[in-house]
Structure 1
Amino acid sequence: MKKTESEDLPEADALPGAPHPRHATSLIGHKAAEQELLSAYREGRLAHAWLIGGREGIGKATLAWRFARFVLANPDPAAAAVREARDLHVEPSHSTARLIAQLAHPDFSLIRREWQPATKRLASEISVDAVRLGLQVFQLSAAFGGWRIAIVDSAEDLNRNSANALLKMVEEPPQRSLILIVAHRPGQVLATIRSRCRRLRLDPLTEDEIVEAAVSLGPPWSEAATDKIAAAAKRANGSVREALARLAPESEGAGALIDSIVAGLPRPDPRAVARLADAIGGRAGDEAYRAFHRELYDWLASYARDLPPPAVEVEQIGALWDRIRAAERETDALNLDRKLHVQAVIAEIAATAPRR
């Protein structure tokens, strides 16, 4: 079947070249989390909002889509199919699964960064209009008489206004509504949203699980040499996305540079910084650019945790985090020079972060 133009557009919540999580038919790892969701639904104690947290690329969105499919396909928690279910699997041939895969289910919405035709780029954040549009699903009667569900992917992409718009729905949800919020750093989610969600924390995947996930995706990932897949899994910090990024030809060598720079923070080798800036300055380095920021934010969080008193130094790192995040969004929104951005970020860390 020929792809439509919309199907060819980049998706903010998917790794380029890899299937979107809504197309995943199996879940690798996270069996305890899956059973927690199933039990809560089956026993009639399902929270109206869930904050699904954990490192980026470990399967949070896959689990959220899997749960949304199951609930929409089985709207009665007391039904025999739910009582007898061993997991959240729904056959791909099921009408609900087909509608969700096509983003065409009337009782479901996806809230994420939008494609901007004028600039031919993804938005740098989830706008308040995108949130309000996505939440309209809860203002209508359920088309199939069951649940209405929205997935937010991810919470880090919300700005202050869009987060507050989401908060209003989380505070006063209608009956039989379910909001699944994917969060790579749950601690950074608006506190008033966190307090109104049931939290589900997913652990990083094992190396074997990452290898299994990469191979299951098929070409080109499964065609990589076995030793390369194993090496990527070993350096991926429990993230399938990170492993796939390291396997991508355009990212070759960037992963090692990022590792070297992060290991040298707050004052890494300037030659490594210059090489990384050159490597990710163009479009071919999109995923390496994202990986650089993921590793950077992880380092900042770890660095702040390890700082001794006084608390003022922790506050300085928090403020530094906010400035880097704002600069990243501005660079994306205005299509600024990524090379200069990377160099400026490293320079600011070196000037701000105290030596330990």
Structure 2
Amino acid sequence: MTILGQDRAIAAFRAAMDSGHLHHAWLLAGPRGVGKGSFARAAARRVLADAAGPRSDLPGLEVAPGHRIAHLVDAGSHPDFRLLERQEWDKGSKKGELRRNVTIDQVREMGELFALAPSFSDWRVCIIDAMDDLERNAANALLKLLEEPPGKSLFLLVSHSPGRLLPTIRSRCRRLDFTALDDASMDRVLAEQQPKLSAADRARLLPLAAGSAARAIEFAELDLAPLAEEALAILRHGDPDNSRRARLATSLALKAAAPRYAAFLELVPPLVAAEARRAEGERRSRAAAAYAQLRETATFAPRHSLDPASTILTLGTIMAGVSG
């Protein structure tokens, strides 16, 4: 697995591996969609594969093609490996939807791993993706594991907002920072994941995704570029007859448009932040103030199930104020 744009993080982890003193808990911190989850899975494969043998002389976190341990980790069937992430509801009206949190029962089940003798080597690896989804009781249960870690155990904890985690959890981890991806890495990921996109279409998406490959892929799949252009038109030229705001509200208010609506809420604040950086004088001040309002509204709306059409009209009004 190729992890683009995170050479420093890979080098730091490899240095710890090669020293023979691998810290038991790593907090993988950085923006959403820049490769933290992929890094965690690659690190788990490499640690477990090297421990079981044969050891690899490949660089970074790569494992030789066909390695039996890598196949078991990828399939989720390695007995010394656990991956905790939000699970699907299995019954009722929410069947198939993801739960809101990683639960305490999942953490307790993970803890049971350490009551058993390891199967292929003396190492056991657990990934939580993401720590931001951990409910409070689950975080406290995890803390107990981190306070008295079993020997040869490795916890890889993905977090998009590490400042919100329990300080006691942060203090027991070695932090590894991940940065937003550069345009070259983003373009390569888009070309691999969305081969039907032209170079011009990829270039339109890059500034919208703010260095997040996951966001860029999602925006491509949802065809968000036309919505972004409409938003930019409101920012730069206003909307004196309300027509632009009305078009956005109409296109995003339908139930079938829910994924595009959610993605648009993510798109707007960084779009305005980028506009603020390009602006000067009073317009820059208006854009900065609009960014704060838009971010608050975009965060508040889904949590409180606000009407999508009204929310889009509110966002459009805030953006129109930037044009002056």
> Normalising to structure 2: TM-score of the pair?
0.76
| In structure 2, distance between residues paired with 1:173 and 1:324 | 39
Provide closer, same or farther for how the CA distance between residues 279 and 170 of structure 1 changes in structure 2, counting only shifts above 3 A.
Answer: same
| In structure 1, distance between residues paired with 2:55 and 2:216 | 36
Provide closer, same or farther for how the CA distance between residues 42 and 257 of structure 1 changes in structure 2, counting only shifts above 3 A.
Answer: farther
Which of these residues, 136, 139, 142, is aligned with residue 160 of structure 1? 136
Find out whether 1:202 has 2:178 as its counterpart.
Answer: yes
| In structure 2, distance between residues paired with 1:167 and 1:324 | 32
Q: What is the correspondence of 1:29-178 to structure 2 with a 5 Å cutoff?
A: 29-75=5-51, 81=55, 84-118=57-91, 119-120=94-95, 121-178=97-154
| In structure 1, distance between residues paired with 2:64 and 2:117 | 26
Which of these residues, 180, 190, 202, is aligned with residue 229 of structure 1? 202
| In structure 1, distance between residues paired with 2:140 and 2:270 | 24
What's the counterpart of residue 262 of structure 2?
289
Contact 1:245 1:287 in 2 (8 A): no
Find out whether 1:243 has 2:216 as its counterpart.
Answer: yes
What's the counterpart of residue 8 of structure 1?
none
Provide closer, same or farther for how the CA distance between residues 140 and 290 of structure 1 changes in structure 2, counting only shifts above 3 A.
Answer: farther
Q: CA deviation at 1:135?
A: 3.1
What's the counterpart of residue 279 of structure 1?
252
| In structure 2, distance between residues paired with 1:197 and 1:157 | 18
Q: Provide Cα deviations, 1:96-139, integer angstroms capped at 9, x if missing partner.
A: 11111111111111111111121221101212212222332223
| In structure 2, distance between residues paired with 1:135 and 1:126 | 14
Name stretches of at least 5 consecutive residues in structure 1 with no aligned partner. 1-24, 264-268, 301-316, 351-356
Contact 2:131 2:158 in 1 (8 A): yes
| In structure 2, distance between residues paired with 1:261 and 1:100 | 48
Q: CA deviation at 1:81?
A: 3.5
What's the counterpart of residue 278 of structure 2?
none
Question: Which shows bigger deviation, 162-171 or 62-71?
Answer: 162-171
Contact 2:29 2:161 in 1 (8 A): yes
Q: CA deviation at 1:74?
A: 0.6
Q: Provide Cα deviations, 1:80-101, integer angstroms capped at 9, x if missing partner.
A: 946x442110134111111111
Mark the structure with the bigger radius of gyration: 2
| In structure 2, distance between residues paired with 1:112 and 1:129 | 12
| In structure 2, distance between residues paired with 1:345 and 1:172 | 50
Name stretches of at least 5 consecutive residues in structure 2 with no aligned partner. 237-241, 274-291, 319-324
Q: CA deviation at 1:345?
A: 9.3
| In structure 1, distance between residues paired with 2:67 and 2:116 | 24
Paired residue type of 2:73: I
| Partner-residue secondary structure (3-state), 1:279 | helix
| In structure 2, distance between residues paired with 1:30 and 1:87 | 11
Q: Provide Cα deviations, 1:185-239, integer angstroms capped at 9, x if missing partner.
A: 221222111111100001111111111112223xxx1111111012212322111
Contact 2:29 2:177 in 1 (8 A): yes
| In structure 1, distance between residues paired with 2:177 and 2:235 | 25
Provide closer, same or farther for how the CA distance between residues 161 and 38 of structure 1 changes in structure 2, counting only shifts above 3 A.
Answer: same
Provide closer, same or farther for how the CA distance between residues 201 and 288 of structure 1 changes in structure 2, counting only shifts above 3 A.
Answer: farther
Provide closer, same or farther for how the CA distance between residues 290 and 46 of structure 1 changes in structure 2, counting only shifts above 3 A.
Answer: farther
Q: Provide Cα deviations, 1:264-294, integer angstroms capped at 9, x if missing partner.
A: xxxxx99649825852653544265156248
Question: Is the helix fraction higher in 1 or 2?
Answer: 2
Provide closer, same or farther for how the CA distance between residues 169 and 163 of structure 1 changes in structure 2, counting only shifts above 3 A.
Answer: same
Contact 2:249 2:309 in 1 (8 A): no
Provide closer, same or farther for how the CA distance between residues 340 and 46 of structure 1 changes in structure 2, counting only shifts above 3 A.
Answer: farther
| In structure 1, distance between residues paired with 2:141 and 2:299 | 21
Which of these residues, 188, 201, 204, is aligned with residue 212 of structure 1? 188
Paired residue type of 2:308: K
| Partner-residue secondary structure (3-state), 1:170 | helix
What's the counterpart of residue 9 of structure 1?
none
| Partner-residue secondary structure (3-state), 2:12 | helix
Contact 1:281 1:337 in 2 (8 A): no
| Partner-residue secondary structure (3-state), 1:58 | coil
| In structure 1, distance between residues paired with 2:186 and 2:224 | 18
- May I ask how many residue pairs the two structures share in their alignment? 291
> Normalising to structure 1: TM-score of the pair?
0.70
Provide closer, same or farther for how the CA distance between residues 102 and 276 of structure 1 changes in structure 2, counting only shifts above 3 A.
Answer: farther
| In structure 1, distance between residues paired with 2:163 and 2:246 | 29
